[in-house]
Amino acid sequence: MAKRIKIRIFPDGLVQAETQGIKGKACTDYIAILQGILKAEAVDSSYTPEYYERESIESESINERVITSQGDIDSKLN
């Protein structure tokens, strides 16, 4: 699922926002940004099940060459 923020604006000026596709505590960062843009303050919040999930991060191996003071080359695989 793509990361998005669902925003509803009610006739009385109340703004309701819900993050979607954002796992873990990162969702609160997006709400803080939204509060700054709107110059508003959250008065109530609750967490979706995604808040309690961990976002998977893909990593790849990196070959690193280190030249020692003797001029030897050591290879490391991270």
In a domain, 16, yes or no: yes
- How many domains in the chain? 1
Q: How confident is the model at residue 56 (pLDDT cuts 50, 70, 90)?
A: low
Round to whole Å and give the CA distance between 56 and 66: 30
Phi, psi of 4 (to 5 degrees): -155, 165
- Structural domain of residue 41, as residue ranges? 1-55
Q: What does the buried/exposed string (b/e) look like for 12-23 if buried means 16 or more CB atoms within 10 Å of the residue's CB?
A: eeeeebebeebb
pTM above 0.75, yes or no: no
In a domain, 12, yes or no: yes
In a domain, 71, yes or no: no
In a domain, 61, yes or no: no
Q: How confident is the model at residue 69 (pLDDT cuts 50, 70, 90)?
A: low
In a domain, 75, yes or no: no
In a domain, 68, yes or no: no
Task: Provide the pLDDT for residue 11.
Answer: 95
